[in-house]
């Protein structure tokens, strides 16, 4: 399609299977700008591959950005070119050989039949990269998140706990509370929110604390002896119904630490341009250095209208008394509101579960994200808008990986940040200020998502987004088909009613007169440290 739209064949290949340009310090500016511009048009094809291509006037081959597939070539003195995964596939006398070699990661081998010569990788790429002023287009249209105007409103930086309590006090015309009373009330409200979203003491101690303290995940065994979510007597989060797929046999994984040069955490959000008709403004997107957003960064996105990024915030809440019918109706309403917003020119849809209280329960964030993602795909409008999540639910690396895998472009885990602040106050996170601890947490999550992608041979978060490299275990076909379309599912299980009951069980722990004033202390993970 791209060659029929006017691109040369090497140009199309460079777009689809780009070099790892993000950490490539020695790449020249023109080629870097070419790759960055085209990353706004489409995500890179990633994973082990050796691809041959031809359009009748030229023939070539290219390896994936990691070089995880072998390709070797031989050129004879009489002009015969042989390329295969191994050397020696055809019997060629040594005296006939002019040169031989191997195709390197990210490099292109191209034979121009009309000119009767092999065009060097650098020559062909530099020629294509200088055809258009890509750097000027990027400077004019691509927006970095830090370039958006900061939001100075006090309300934008408040925690969900503090803002809710102050709102109640204003409404009831109460006298201001003392510091001790305010702290006690805030702690109580924080625990309410944590219980409603299913937080456990074990998650705080074993998972969140080392991420905030050291910027790394806790180490643990690959195996798990926990029951399948569908068989558990606890109200498990929807993320736990999904198992990450990993490289097997011929699909080698990547070492995300030692091969970090080929990984990339950046991603873009916004309304994508026409892939077949690239224009300077096709890169009018917001570039994120990580898909995990701090509260003030999300506030910037919500106020992005001035930079040409109008947004619409859609609440992902439902009436806890309405049960499964209420949750399903709320999901349908989210999709209908999204359709209206897109028609009105919105480029960012922000799904938010802020406002959980006695009358509003949170919809499972993954259900809302995946349901909207597939609804927009079916409607043919998915590329016209970016999906952002503002939720108190995700906190573990797996949670973020599943959300990104089902199309979420950016995530603001506001309750995780609020919890980190509480861990600092409780001296569970030591010798760090709040900003540094949150930065460490974001670093740990970002590295963790890259590591998960690397296990299947995917090296960029942009490629991982929407890839759905998961297997559903214990979800009913009706749920998978509608909300997680194209996901492999070999074991039937929970339908939407069961998922609603689990969501309400968590919610009721926080917003009923439960005698236990603390979050769940029962252990689940074993042997982590």
CATH code where residue 479 lies: 3.20.20.70
Q: What is the pLDDT of residue 167?
A: 39
529 located within any domain:
no
Lowest mean per-residue pLDDT among 230-244, 298-312, 460-474: 230-244
pLDDT of 184 above 70: no
Digit-coded pLDDT (tens) for 403-448: 999 999 999 999 999 999 999 999 999 999 999 999 999 999 999 9
172 located within any domain:
no
Query: In the chain, how many domains are there?
Result: 2
pLDDT of 271 above 90: yes
Q: What is the pLDDT of residue 132?
A: 95
364 located within any domain:
yes
445 located within any domain:
yes
Q: Which residues pair with 51 in a beta bridge?
A: 62
Residue range 381-393: mean pLDDT, rounded: 98
Q: What is the pLDDT of residue 175?
A: 42
Count of alpha carbons within 13 Å of 280, Cβ hemisphere only?
9
Q: Are residues 462 and 325 in the same domain?
A: yes
Q: What is the pLDDT of residue 482?
A: 97
337 located within any domain:
yes
Residue range 444-471: mean pLDDT, rounded: 94
- DSSP codes joined into one string, 168-223: HHHHTTPPPPPHHHHHHHHHHHHHHHHHHTT-BHHIIIIIIHHHHHHSSPPP--S-
* Percentage of the residues of the chain whose pLDDT score is greater than 90: 68
- Using DSSP's 3-state secondary structure scheme, residue 89 falls into coil
Q: Are residues 252 and 114 in the same domain?
A: no
Lowest mean per-residue pLDDT among 256-260, 400-404, 524-528: 524-528
Q: Are residues 126 and 263 in the same domain?
A: no
Strands (E), 219-330: 242-244, 267-269, 286-288, 311-315, 317-318
pLDDT of 528 above 50: no
Distance CA 164, CA 166 (A): 6
Residue range 317-329: mean pLDDT, rounded: 97
Task: Say if residues 368 and 334 touch (Cβ distance below 8 Å).
Answer: yes
Q: Are residues 135 and 247 in the same domain?
A: no
Cα distances (Å, whole numbers) of residue 39 to 121, 264, 348: 20, 12, 18
140's torsion region: left (phi>0), alpha (psi -120 to 50) or beta?
Answer: alpha
Residue range 376-394: mean pLDDT, rounded: 98
Distance CA 353, CA 527 (A): 33
Instruction: Tell me the angle at which helices 9-16 and 121-129 cross, rounded to the nearest 10 degrees.
Output: 90
Element (H, E) at 117: strand 117-119
Q: Are residues 321 and 432 in the same domain?
A: yes
pLDDT of 330 above 50: yes
pLDDT of 48 above 90: no
Query: Using 50, 70 and 90 to split pLDDT, how confident is the model at 178?
Result: very low
Distance CA 214, CA 217 (A): 8
Q: Calculate the average pLDDT of the chain.
A: 88
pLDDT of 501 above 60: yes
- Number of other CB atoms surrounding residue 296 within 10 Å: 13
pLDDT of 159 above 60: no
Q: Which residue has the higher pLDDT, 338 or 458?
A: 338
Q: Which among 52, 43, 55, 51 is positioned nearest to 3, based on CA atoms?
A: 55
Q: Are residues 332 and 451 in the same domain?
A: yes
Query: Using 50, 70 and 90 to split pLDDT, how confident is the model at 517?
Result: low
Domain boundary among 86, 109, 142: 142
Phi, psi torsion values for 29, nearest 5 degrees: -65, -35
Maximum Cα interatomic distance, the chain, rounded to a whole number of Å: 96
Cα distances (Å, whole numbers) of residue 70 to 66, 103, 124, 288, 454: 11, 7, 22, 33, 19
- DSSP codes joined into one string, 28-82: -HHHHHHHHHHHTT-PPP-SS-EEEEE-SSEEEEEE-TT--S--EEEEETTS-EE
In sequence order, which residues have a C-beta less than 8 Å from that of residue 465 and are 6 or more positions away? 43, 267, 291, 404, 405, 407, 408, 409
Distance CA 241, CA 230 (A): 7
Count of alpha carbons within 13 Å of 78, Cβ hemisphere only?
5
412 located within any domain:
yes
Query: Using 50, 70 and 90 to split pLDDT, how confident is the model at 249?
Result: low
pLDDT of 361 above 60: yes
Q: What is the pLDDT of residue 416?
A: 97
Instruction: Tell me the angle at which helices 121-129 and 29-39 cross, rounded to the nearest 10 degrees.
Output: 70
Residue ranges making up the domain that contains 299? 243-269+290-507
Q: What is the pLDDT of residue 154?
A: 39
- Number of other CB atoms surrounding residue 518 within 10 Å: 9
CA 213 from centroid of its chain's CA atoms:
23
- Using DSSP's 3-state secondary structure scheme, residue 474 falls into strand
Q: What is the pLDDT of residue 221?
A: 63
Pairing of strands 81-84, 72-76: antiparallel
Q: Please state the length of the chain.
A: 529
Query: Using 50, 70 and 90 to split pLDDT, how confident is the model at 168?
Result: very low
Q: What is the pLDDT of residue 512?
A: 78
Digit-coded pLDDT (tens) for 126-150: 999 999 999 999 999 999 999 888 8
Distance CA 469, CA 466 (A): 9
Residue range 193-216: mean pLDDT, rounded: 93
Query: Using 50, 70 and 90 to split pLDDT, how confident is the model at 513?
Result: low
Q: What is the pLDDT of residue 215?
A: 95
Q: Which residues pair with 52 in a beta bridge?
A: 61
In sequence order, which residues have a C-beta less than 8 Å from that of residue 32 and are 6 or more positions away? 21, 24
Q: Are residues 491 and 353 in the same domain?
A: yes
Instruction: Tell me the angle at which helices 414-425 and 179-196 cross, rounded to the nearest 10 degrees.
Output: 130
- Number of other CB atoms surrounding residue 249 within 10 Å: 5
pLDDT of 181 above 50: no
Q: What is the pLDDT of residue 152?
A: 61
175 located within any domain:
no
Q: What is the pLDDT of residue 234?
A: 76
Query: Using 50, 70 and 90 to split pLDDT, how confident is the model at 173?
Result: very low
Environment class of residue 359 by beta-carbon count within 10 Å: exposed (0-12), middle (13-18) or buried (19+)? Answer: exposed
Lowest mean per-residue pLDDT among 169-173, 461-465, 505-509: 169-173
Is the pTM above the cut of 0.85?
yes
Query: Using 50, 70 and 90 to split pLDDT, how confident is the model at 257?
Result: confident
Cα distances (Å, whole numbers) of residue 335 to 372, 376, 384, 522: 6, 8, 14, 37
Phi, psi torsion values for 77, nearest 5 degrees: -70, -20
3 located within any domain:
no
């Amino acid at each position: 399609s791209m060659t029929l739209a006017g691109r040369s064949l090497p140009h199309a290949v460079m777009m689809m299977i780009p070099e790892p340009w993000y950490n490539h310090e020695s790449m020249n500016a023109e080629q870097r700008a070419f790759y960055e511009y085209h990353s706004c048009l489409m995500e890179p094809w990633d994973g082990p591959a050796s691809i041959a291509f031809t359009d009748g006037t030229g023939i070539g081959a290219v390896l994936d950005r990691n070089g995880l597939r072998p390709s070797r070539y031989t050129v004879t003195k009489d002009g015969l070119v042989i390329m295969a995964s191994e050397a020696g596939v055809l019997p060629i006398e040594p005296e006939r050989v002019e040169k031989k070699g191997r195709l390197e990661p990210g490099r292109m081998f191209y034979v121009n039949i009309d000119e009767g010569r092999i065009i060097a990788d650098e020559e062909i790429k530099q020629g294509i990269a200088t055809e258009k002023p890509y750097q000027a287009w990027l400077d004019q249209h691509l927006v970095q998140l830090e370039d958006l105007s900061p939001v100075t409103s006090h309300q934008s930086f408040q925690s969900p706990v503090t803002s809710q309590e102050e709102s109640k006090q204003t409404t009831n015309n109460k006298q201001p509370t003392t510091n001790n009373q305010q702290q006690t009330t805030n702690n109580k409200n924080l625990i309410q929110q944590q219980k409603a979203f299913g937080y456990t003491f074990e998650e705080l101690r074993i998972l969140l604390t080392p991420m905030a303290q050291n910027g790394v995940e806790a180490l643990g065994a690959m195996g798990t002896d926990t029951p399948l979510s569908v068989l558990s007597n606890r109200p498990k989060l929807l993320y736990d119904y999904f198992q990450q797929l990993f490289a097997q046999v011929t699909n080698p994984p990547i070492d995300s630490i030692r091969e970090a040069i080929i990984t990339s955490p950046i991603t873009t959000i916004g309304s994508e341009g026409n892939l077949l008709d690239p224009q300077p403004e096709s890169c009018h997107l917001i570039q994120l250095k990580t898909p995990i957003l701090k509260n003030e960064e999300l506030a910037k996105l919500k106020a992005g209208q001035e930079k040409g990024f109008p947004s619409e915030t859609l609440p992902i809440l439902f009436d806890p008394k309405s049960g499964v019918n209420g949750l399903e109706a709320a999901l349908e309403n989210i999709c209908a509101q999204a359709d209206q917003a897109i028609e009105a020119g919105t480029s960012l849809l922000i799904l938010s579960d802020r406002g959980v209280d006695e009358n509003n329960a949170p919809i499972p964030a993954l259900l809302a994200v995946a349901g909207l993602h597939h609804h927009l795909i079916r409607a043919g409008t998915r590329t016209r808008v970016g999906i952002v999540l503002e939720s108190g639910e995700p906190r573990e690396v797996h949670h973020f990986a599943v959300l990104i895998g089902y199309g979420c472009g950016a995530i603001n885990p506001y309750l995780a940040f609020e919890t980190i602040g509480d861990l600092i106050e409780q001296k569970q996170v030591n010798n760090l200020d709040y900003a540094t601890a949150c930065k460490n947490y974001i670093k740990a999550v970002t590295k963790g998502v890259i590591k998960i992608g690397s296990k299947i041979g995917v090296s960029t978060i942009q490629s991982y987004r929407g890839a759905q490299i998961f297997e559903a275990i214990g979800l009913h076909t009706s749920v998978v088909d509608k909300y997680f379309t194209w996901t492999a599912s070999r074991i039937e299980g929970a339908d939407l009613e069961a998922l609603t009951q689990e969501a309400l069980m968590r919610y009721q722990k926080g917003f009923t007169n439960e005698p236990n004033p603390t979050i769940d202390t029962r252990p689940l993970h074993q042997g982590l440290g």
